[in-house]
Structure formats: C-alpha cells, structure tokens
Amino acid sequence: MLAVSAWRKLLLHFIWTCLLAVLLSTLAQTQFNLLALQQLGIAISFSERLTTSLHDLRHFAPVYAAIFSCSYLVSQSIAFWLRRWVASRWQVALFALAAGIGLLCTLLLVNALAPMPTLIAASRSLPGLLSLLLMAALAGALFARALQQSSGAGSNRQVDASALAALLLPVMLLNGLVTPAASAVESDYRIETLVNELEHPWSLAFLSGGTMLVTERPGRLRLIHADGRLEPEPIAGLPTVFASGQAGLFDVVPAPDFAQSQQIFLSYACGRMRANHTCLARARLDLSRLELTELTEIFRTYPAKTGNAHYGGRLAFLSDGSLVLSLGDGFDYREEAQRLSSHLGSIVRLWPDGTVPEDNPFFGQTGALAEIYSYGHRNVQGLVYDSANQQLLSHEHGPKGGDELNRIQPGLNYGWPVVTQGIDYTGARITPFTAYQGMQLPLLDWTPSIAPSGLTLYQGDLFVDWQGDLLVGALAGRQLQRVRLTEQGAEIVEVLLAELAERIRDVRTGPDGALYVLTDDARGRLLRITPALDGAGAKVY
C-alpha cells in the first residue's frame, strides 16, 4: 500500500491534472461555439469573447468537471492496473490513451441518457470532439509523467491502483428551473376530464358538431365524439411515422372547407434515426369507416438530420388559404436556423397542394429555399393566426431560459442561435448577444423556461375577461398561462391549472367557448375548462 506522503502526492497529481483538463476544455468549447457563430458571418469582439469565456469558466466548468472527473477516475484506475504489464517508456501513452477513451465513452453514455442528442455543444463537430479528447489525453500524460518523476519508474510499479478509488472531486449541481411568479389575477374555473386513456397526446382539432381529432405521438390518430366518448380503434391509413424521443405524429388540422372536401393535414416525423425529417401530408377523412384515403405527402424538410429532437410541427391556415408549418432546428444543427438553404429552424408557407406561393419572401432568390416564410427559430411548438388583426403568432422553446413569444412577419430573422436570453443546459453561453442588428426581439420571453407547447387565441363567450388573450401551455412549467398582448409587447396575466402539476401539451378554444387541454403523459388526458358553476371555485377532476 502507499505511504501517506505518496498518497498525498498521488492525490495532488490527480487533482491538478484533472483541473487543468477542465480549464483547457472549457476554454476550447467556448471558442468552438463562438467559431460556429463566426462562420455565420457574426462579428465577435475581444471583449465579447472574454466575457463569454469567463462566464463559461464559472457556469460550464463545474458541470464539465463533474462529468470529466468521473471519467478520469475510472480511466486512470484502469491505466494503473494495466501498467504492470507495460514498459515504463510506454506508460505515458497508456495513461493518455486511457483518459481519451474514457472521456469518449463517458460522452457517448451521457448523450444516450440525456434528453438532448448532444449535451456538450462543442462535441457536435469532429474538431470540437477531438479537442476535448486531446485535453483529456494531455491530462493523462501529465499525470503519468508526474508520477514517474515523483516516485521513479521502478517503485511506481508497486503502487496499489485501488488507492485511486478514493479520489473523487466535488460535483456542483446545476440550479433547477424555477416556476414563474404567481398570477396577478385568479379565475374560478371548473376542470372536467373527458378522456384519460391517451398515450402522449400531441394535438387537438375540432370537426363539425363538436367531434374532435387527437394525435398521439407514437403515431395514432384518435376520434373523440362530442360527448367525450373515445373511439376504441384509431383511424386507419396514416403515413409511416418515425416515433422516437420527441419524434412522432404531431399536429392535425382540418381544411377550412372540411365540410365539403373532408381533407385534413398531418405533420409528423418521417425517416429513420440517422436520416429523418418533419413531413406534411394531406388526406381525406372517411368518418364512416374511420379511415384516411388519398394520403399524399406534400412537404418534407431539407436536409435530413440525425437524432430525434426539435421538429416543430405546428400548423395554421392564413386568411388567404395558405398553410404555415413550424419547424425545429434539430438541436444539434442550431446554426442551420440562420441559413436560408436549410428548412431547419424556420416556418414554411405552402398552398394546400404543396406548391409554393410566389409571394413568399424568398421565392426565386438564389441559394434560398422558396418555402421559407421566417427563420432564426429554435423549436416552434405554438402557432395561431389572429384573423381579426391579420397577425401570425408563435412561441418557441429556448434552451435553459429564453422561451419566446413572437409576432411572425414574412422574411424576418428571429435570431436563434445568434440572439437568445437563454444559456445551454450545461451552463455554457450559446452566444454573447441578447440583441443583434437585423434580428427580431420577442414580444415576451420566459426566463427561466416554461417549455411552451400549444397556443390558442381565446374568442369564446364563456370567459368574458379572456377575450383576445392568448393561452399558452407549459411542459416544464406544468401550467397554463394567460398572456395579453400590449403596445410594448405582451404580459402574463395569470397562471392556470398549476394545481394539476401536469405537463400541458396543447390547448384549444372549443366551439362551445370552453377551453380544451391535452396533458402529456403515457396516460394523457383531455380536459374541458369552463367557468365555475356557482362562482365558488369548485373543480371537478
């Protein structure tokens, strides 16, 4: 076993080489993130680079230290065990190789377990990944060299590798998300559960007579009668859906002339894990047979992407009969949101037959995709057209903070990832900028994030005080927010349904003036929200 002095030296060598790797890796990942912005033509000054680096040393480094120290401890323990069979001249290479391979395996494991495809943004590119592995290898090499110098190669063979098992660095925990401030106004409302047997329901649409269509993310379209009775069998004839993670069947919208045409439109993920898209199809709905016919794909995003995150998928018809579809940035492809040669991170506009309107802002422009209506979005999961004011409104997920409510205008750039109020999930800065020339600022941003999903403009008769307000569902926030547009932007008026503590996926105004809400769960619910019957605030669950 090691003597106390030798153990102390071992501990010190382990700590300083580990911290050195964390320091250098943090600085490297910052520069790779800023380089991605520079490749978009964004100018970054020395002071902006410095402040971003200092921010990451404070906020990203502790997270990376927790990840790297676990990897480093295991890899160097294995190297100690193997070293007895390795000549002393190759031991530096052994420790370096072990550290690099250990970090690679750890990053692959973390990415497999994390909700997002790639946790550390710099490792999205091969050069960025190699830089992190190189810093790990450097730490391993220095650790081995320091041990040789302090102990000598011969005595070093007698070091008990089990001593390394006691070497653990403190892990600094990330702060959790905070729920937004309590509401300024309280409403009395009644909650009625209509259906509680839906698997991760995603979208709700009304047909004539109060009949409803509900999509389930795994790839099913369900029919719910006006009395709340769920048809036991899903509607047949759907397209092949790629269902994994956030991918699946998304929105359903009936054509404005559905009573005559019987047409509906579906957005969904299509393809496979290594090459998938957000797709849009139209079909005729045969209610008597509960079947889709004449199914036709009319749009799919370009280019294909890997992973199963950030698809957007919301649909809305404009007053001229054109159809807009919101898209996500694919998470690992966030810079694509600034490129007009890519659909990722945009909102597209089409005619119902899939052709492109010639008055689209980039129609006929060289190097730009004609379908793009607006760009610079992260993951738009709320979309509503206000016909009275001729405005298209959307909300989108930010990273850790920076969720946005936007008024969409053709041809405008909404900033992502150059502009955001949020930071990455690791604590790293995505960008130095919260504003940038030529990029639109949101009407409202949520920091901390609520993860908005579902959006409706209330124009019913039951809640008189809500006329013209927006209702925003929240996944992470587990609530419904009522938002009012103002001359300055928008403001949160009140928080609803927080007592349920359930993820809200979609919200719609029903033809009866009630509010209909979908909860996101393996046993998701369809809720009907109406004013309290006697004003006493009694609620039915």
Q: Is residue 423 part of a domain?
A: yes
Which pLDDT score, from 0 to 100, does residue 233 have? 95
Q: Is residue 502 part of a domain?
A: no
Is the pLDDT at 380 greater than 90? The verdict is: yes
Which pLDDT score, from 0 to 100, does residue 83 have? 86
Q: What is the mean pLDDT of residues 307-330?
A: 97
Q: Which one is catalytic: 200, 310, 377, 397?
A: 310
Which pLDDT score, from 0 to 100, does residue 540 have? 47
**The token pair that represents 105 in the structure block:** 């395996």
Residues 6+ apart with CB under 8 A from 154: none
Which pLDDT score, from 0 to 100, does residue 11 have? 85
Helix (H) or strand (E) holding 298: strand 291-300
Which pLDDT score, from 0 to 100, does residue 377 have? 98
Which strands sit side by side in the sheet containing 323-327, from one edge to the other? 312-317, 323-327, 346-350, 372-375
> Whole-angstrom Cα distance, residue 258 to residue 355?
20
- The per-residue DSSP string of 460-529 comes to -SS-GGGTT-EEEEETTTTEEEEEEE-SSSEEEEEEESGGG---EEEEEE-TTS-EEEEE-STTEEEEEE
Which pLDDT score, from 0 to 100, does residue 9 have? 81
- Residue 149 phi/psi, 5-degree rounding, is -70, -35
End-to-end CA distance of the chain: 64
Is the pLDDT at 371 greater than 70? The verdict is: yes
Q: What percent of the chain has pLDDT over 70?
A: 90
343 a catalytic residue: no
What is the residue-averaged pLDDT of the chain? 91
* 517-531 tens-digit pLDDT: 999 999 999 999 999
CATH number of the domain that residue 314 is part of? 2.120.10.30
Is the pLDDT at 537 greater than 60? The verdict is: no
Q: What percent of the chain has pLDDT over 90?
A: 84
Q: Is residue 524 part of a domain?
A: no
**The token pair that represents 442 in the structure block:** 């949101």
Count of domains in the chain? 2
pLDDT, greater one: 176 or 8: 8
Q: Work out the pLDDT band at 151, boundaries 50, 70, 90.
A: low
Is the pLDDT at 539 greater than 80? The verdict is: no
Q: Work out the pLDDT band at 88, boundaries 50, 70, 90.
A: confident
Which pLDDT score, from 0 to 100, does residue 49 have? 97
Please choose, from the candidates 21, 125, 24, 121, the residue with its C-alpha nearest in 3D space to the C-alpha of residue 75. 21
Q: Is residue 411 part of a domain?
A: yes
Q: Work out the pLDDT band at 183, boundaries 50, 70, 90.
A: very low
Q: Is residue 355 part of a domain?
A: yes
* 1-23 tens-digit pLDDT: 455 566 778 888 899 999 999 99
Please choose, from the candidates 167, 177, 174, the residue with its C-alpha nearest in 3D space to the C-alpha of residue 62. 174
Is the pLDDT at 282 greater than 90? The verdict is: yes
Last residue in a domain, options 399, 430, 461: 430
Which pLDDT score, from 0 to 100, does residue 149 have? 78
Last residue in a domain, options 124, 140, 166: 166
Which pLDDT score, from 0 to 100, does residue 167 have? 42
Which pLDDT score, from 0 to 100, does residue 536 have? 47
Last residue in a domain, options 402, 430, 458: 430
Q: Is residue 531 part of a domain?
A: no
**The token pair that represents 384 in the structure block:** 């509503």
Which pLDDT score, from 0 to 100, does residue 179 have? 36
Q: Is residue 438 part of a domain?
A: no
Provide the domain limits for residue 71.
4-166
Q: Is residue 512 part of a domain?
A: no
Residues 6+ apart with CB under 8 A from 85: none
Max Cα separation, the chain? 88
Residues 6+ apart with CB under 8 A from 432: 34, 44, 48, 49, 51, 52
> Whole-angstrom Cα distance, residue 233 to residue 269?
22
Q: Work out the pLDDT band at 24, boundaries 50, 70, 90.
A: very high
* 452-509 tens-digit pLDDT: 999 999 999 999 999 999 999 999 999 999 999 999 899 999 999 999 999 999 999 9
Q: Which of 92-106, 183-197, 252-266, 405-419 has the weakest average pLDDT? A: 183-197
Q: Work out the pLDDT band at 154, boundaries 50, 70, 90.
A: very low
Query: Number of helices and strands (H, E) in the chain?
Result: 6, 23
